[in-house]
Amino acid sequence: MDVPVRFIDSIINNPLLMQFLVHRWFFLLEYDPRLDQLRVCDTRSRTLETLDAYLGSEKPEHATIFAEDRWKMRALLTGELYGPLEMRFLSPEGVYYSREVDARPVEDPARGTLYVGYAKDITDQKNQTQELLEQARHDSLTQLYNNRTGKELIDRYLQAKDPYASCGMLVIDLDFFKNVNDCYGHLFGDKVLQEFARLLRTLFRSSDILVRFGGDEFVVFLKDIPNTTLLQKTRQLSESVQQVKFWENDYRMTCSIGACFLPENTAGYSFDQLFENADWALYQAKQNGRNQYVFCDNLRRYAQAVPAGADGCVRH
């Protein structure tokens, strides 16, 4: 970015151009390391000050750069880092926003090496990117986590969890959901799925991980709970689902649930292993007539073919 200093001066001295730049949340800066003088033209009309003063190390209440990002500006204006770099700023109204900042050395015949640069607002771009990331992490119909994200979050928790913490997983199928689509149409089927997702958000904590695993299959992962609470929440879900009625088609929803518990002082398990346990229990619930839950706490079951009725399985 070889920008002559006289070009910067011509911009700064042009009121109309500066008004345009300010409107676009774009500002210019020029730093003289020999004199420790920083010239900034932005919405706050700063003109000349030391780098420390601008960064807020002398008067923190006047800082405009997010505290954790100030080192980036210092490194950029002393040649230790090359941009563009992303930094968070504080607006005069007290709102943080993101700017892309860059500065490069420019030789001035009279003053030697100066660092001349710019900053432009990228808040909208960042917000749009974040929205796209969130959309990619969630199921578009139910707004629950999708399969891939749910597995990642659960595996991350299992790898980092306190060894004294216990947790549980529910795998849930809506009973005879194919018949719902066949009899009442897919639009009504979508409404049923959305209502079930709403029920899950109502019954479980914000810290729990709610996943639409695919079709009418859902996964709920409950962090830091004892065995008795997992059983209680499973029973509550089974009973609450039966209270949901869709008047337009005189339809009542039921579900089958497989539950798996990971006790404290237990480590080294993955999503896939817990899912296999809970999914085995779900299969038992469906084989026994649906509209019920089966609680499986035998953690070795994922590696075994155990017949129905073996120890470690509680039917309700």
Instruction: Judge whether residue 194 has pLDDT over 60.
Output: yes
As a whole number of angstroms, the distance between CA 155 and CA 268 comes to 10
**Least confident segment among 122-131, 174-183, 189-198, 216-225:** 122-131
- For 72-105, write each residue's pLDDT tens digit: 988 988 888 888 899 888 776 777 788 888 888 8
More confident residue, 286 or 64: 286
Give the per-residue pLDDT at 2.
Answer: 41
Which residues make up the CATH 3.30.450.20 domain(s) of the chain? Answer: 5-127
Does domain 5-127 match CATH 3.90.320.10? Answer: no
Which residues make up the CATH 3.30.70.270 domain(s) of the chain? Answer: 138-315
Looking at mean pLDDT, say which of 6-15, 19-28, 113-122 comes out highest: 113-122
C-alpha distances in Å from residue 76, one per residue of 51, 89, 104, 126: 11, 16, 8, 21
Give the per-residue pLDDT at 300.
Answer: 54
As a whole number of angstroms, the distance between CA 174 and CA 218 comes to 9
C-alpha distances in Å from residue 158, one per residue of 59, 136, 221, 276: 44, 23, 11, 15
Residue from 139, 173, 216, 297 carrying the catalytic annotation: 216
Angle of CA points 241, 253, 153, to nearest 5°: 55
Catalytic residue list contains 311: no
Instruction: Judge whether residue 110 has pLDDT over 70.
Output: yes
Question: What is the architecture, at CATH level 2, of domain 138-315?
Answer: 2-Layer Sandwich (3.30)
